[in-house]
């Protein structure tokens, strides 16, 4: 079976101007844009030398001292790629020209109040604004959506994301001490992913926990996104399984009335080196035993999915599509689910009556 799983590319490759020069730019944005043939025309960073280093590495012609200087030099059709920390989004967005096209790094804020401030600025300045929720464009996610949209696994009734891994949080010095670490910084990927398939849940149940031997605010979470009495949508993350590779897990699984799909998220196993992804599906056939078929897909979550978020924004700007899947107007709902997850965590569950 032919699988269509690569994002639609724009007819016109708008010039990209990157604000920020952190590790995610070096390891994901720039490799993805290079592979897609996108044109990165400028970069700026608070520490200019970091921007200069990336400019030399990826042949970016212009390094700017600050955002104001960049905006003054950029053409009207520029795409601004914000790769800063969420606390810097609002002040930076205020510096961009009205009606600009902007791709904002996830998460869309450090908290829901900040999320709404970001949304307010984007609306007031009439930005064509998207959030870099790039997991939607991972090859195994795109392939799964293709099969599901074709109706090949029937009615989707079970969606599970499970991580049992060892995450070296020291690789993320800007977030390791975040008071809302696991859900806000990591499970947001899966919350947004589930929403992209199932829409907004009616309710959210969540518990996030810290490791008593670590200083981080939370490293393990169980979240249930409640849709109805037939769909189970659950996220189980455990970043503390530091007991060797044998029993580590990292997968997404979709089950339907006619079949199932399972994808291994190889990136999160032995991070940052990662393991190979694995995409497999099973379509039930009458009078035949279930058979799982493995398909080798080109690319992975990092860096290839970063093509999808940028390409979708470019296509929207040029008018070749009327949809902007990760628009701020959509992703604000993912952040609302995150906020509800923390509310559920704080308020706790129902207490059993032990007075018998």
pLDDT over threshold 90, residue 132: yes
- Under a CB-based contact definition with an 8 Å cutoff, are residues 189 and 161 in contact? no
- Residue 290 forms part of a structural domain: yes
- Under a CB-based contact definition with an 8 Å cutoff, are residues 251 and 265 in contact? yes
Give the model confidence (pLDDT) of 61-91 as tens digits: 999 999 999 999 999 999 999 999 999 999 9
pLDDT over threshold 90, residue 312: yes
Whether 173 and 281 share a structural domain: yes
Burial 88-119 (b: 16+ CB within 10 A, else e): ebeebbeebeeebbbbbbbbbbbbbebbeebb
CATH code for position 207:
3.30.360.10
Q: How many Å apart are CA 296 and CA 198, to the nearest integer?
A: 26
Give the residue numbers spanning the domain of 213. Answer: 136-295
Give the model confidence (pLDDT) of 165-209 as tens digits: 999 999 999 899 999 999 999 999 999 999 999 999 999 999 999
Which pLDDT score is estimated for 121?
98
Whether 193 and 105 share a structural domain: no
User: What is the average pLDDT score of the chain?
Assistant: 97
For the chain, list the strands marked E by DSSP. Answer: 16-19, 40-44, 62-64, 79-82, 101-104, 128-131, 156-164, 203-209, 220-226, 232-238, 249-256, 259-264, 278-283, 292-295
- Residue 64 forms part of a structural domain: yes
- What sign for the dihedral angle of Cα 188, 194, 199, 204? negative
Whether 143 and 289 share a structural domain: yes
Which pLDDT score is estimated for 1?
80
Q: Report the relative pairing of strands 156-164 and 232-238 from DSSP bridges.
A: parallel
pLDDT over threshold 90, residue 154: yes
- Establish how many alpha carbons lie within 13 A of residue 144's alpha carbon, considering only the half-sphere containing its beta carbon: 29
Which pLDDT score is estimated for 77?
97
pLDDT (mean) for 276-280: 98
Whether 121 and 141 share a structural domain: no
Distances, alpha carbon 20 to alpha carbons 33, 78, 88, 132, 183, in Å: 15, 16, 11, 14, 24
Whether 56 and 147 share a structural domain: no
Distances, alpha carbon 195 to alpha carbons 75, 190, 201, in Å: 35, 8, 8
Whether 279 and 236 share a structural domain: yes
Q: How many Å apart are CA 152 and CA 157, to the nearest integer?
A: 13
Whether 145 and 284 share a structural domain: yes
Whether 118 and 260 share a structural domain: no
Whether 178 and 156 share a structural domain: yes
- Establish how many alpha carbons lie within 13 A of residue 174's alpha carbon, considering only the half-sphere containing its beta carbon: 11
The tokens describing 326, both together, are 């990760």
The tokens describing 137, both together, are 């464009």
Which pLDDT score is estimated for 157?
98
Whether 162 and 195 share a structural domain: yes
- pTM (predicted TM-score): 0.97
Q: How many Å apart are CA 156 and CA 141, to the nearest integer?
A: 14
pLDDT over threshold 90, residue 6: yes
Give the model confidence (pLDDT) of 324-356 as tens digits: 999 999 999 999 999 999 999 999 888 888 999
pLDDT over threshold 90, residue 124: yes
ω into 106 cis (within 30 of 0): no
Q: How confident is the model at residue 245 (pLDDT cuts 50, 70, 90)?
A: very high
> Given its phi and psi angles, is residue 140 left (phi above 0), alpha (psi -120 to 50 degrees) or beta?
alpha
Whether 65 and 207 share a structural domain: no
- Residue 331 forms part of a structural domain: no
Contacts of 288 (CB under 8 A, 6+ apart): none
Nearest CA-CA partner of 266 in 158, 165, 136: 165
pLDDT over threshold 90, residue 126: yes
- Residue 225 forms part of a structural domain: yes
Which pLDDT score is estimated for 350?
87
* CA distance between the termini of the chain: 59
- What sign for the dihedral angle of Cα 120, 196, 304, 234? positive
User: What is the number of domains present in the chain?
Assistant: 2
Distances, alpha carbon 300 to alpha carbons 139, 173, 303, in Å: 6, 24, 7
Distances, alpha carbon 281 to alpha carbons 144, 225, 248, 273, 299, in Å: 9, 24, 21, 26, 18
Which pLDDT score is estimated for 325?
98
Nearest CA-CA partner of 200 in 333, 302, 300, 56: 333
């Amino acid at each position: 079976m032919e699988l269509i799983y690569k994002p639609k590319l724009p007819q016109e490759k708008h010039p990209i101007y990157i604000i920020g020069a952190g590790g995610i730019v070096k390891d994901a944005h720039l490799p993805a844009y290079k592979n897609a043939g996108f044109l990165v025309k400028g970069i700026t960073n608070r520490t200019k030398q970091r921007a200069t280093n990336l400019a030399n590495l990826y042949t970016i012609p212009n390094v700017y001292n600050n955002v104001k200087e960049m905006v003054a030099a950029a053409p009207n059709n520029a795409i601004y790629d914000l790769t800063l920390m969420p606390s810097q989004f609002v002040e930076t967005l205020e510096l961009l020209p009205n009606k600009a096209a902007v791709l904002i790094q996830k998460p869309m804020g450090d908290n829901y109040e900040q999320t709404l401030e970001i949304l307010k600025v984007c609306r007031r300045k009439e930005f064509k604004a998207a959030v870099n929720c790039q997991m939607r464009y991972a090859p195994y996610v795109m392939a799964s959506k293709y099969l599901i949209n074709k109706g090949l696994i029937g009615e989707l009734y079970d969606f599970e994301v499970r991580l049992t891994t060892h995450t070296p949080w020291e690789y993320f010095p800007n977030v390791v001490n975040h008071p809302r670490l696991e859900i806000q910084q990591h499970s947001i990927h899966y919350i947004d992913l589930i929403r992209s398939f199932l829409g907004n849940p009616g309710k959210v149940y969540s518990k996030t926990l810290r490791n008593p031997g670590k200083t981080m605010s939370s490293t393990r979470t169980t979240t249930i996104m409640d849709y109805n009495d037939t769909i189970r949508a659950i996220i189980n993350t455990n970043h503390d399984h530091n007991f060797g590779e044998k029993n580590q897990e990292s997968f997404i699984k979709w089950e339907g009335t006619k079949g199932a799909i399972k994808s291994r998220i190889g990136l999160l196993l032995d991070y940052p080196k990662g393991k190979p992804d694995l995409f497999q599906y099973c379509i039930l056939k009458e009078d035949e035993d279930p058979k799982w078929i493995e398909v080798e897909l080109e690319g992975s979550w990092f860096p290839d999915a970063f093509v999808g978020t940028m390409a979708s924004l470019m296509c929207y700007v040029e008018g070749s599509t009327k949809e902007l899947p990760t628009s701020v107007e959509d992703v604000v709902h993912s952040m609302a689910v995150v906020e509800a997850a923390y509310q559920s965590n704080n308020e706790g569950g129902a207490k059993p009556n032990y007075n018998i």
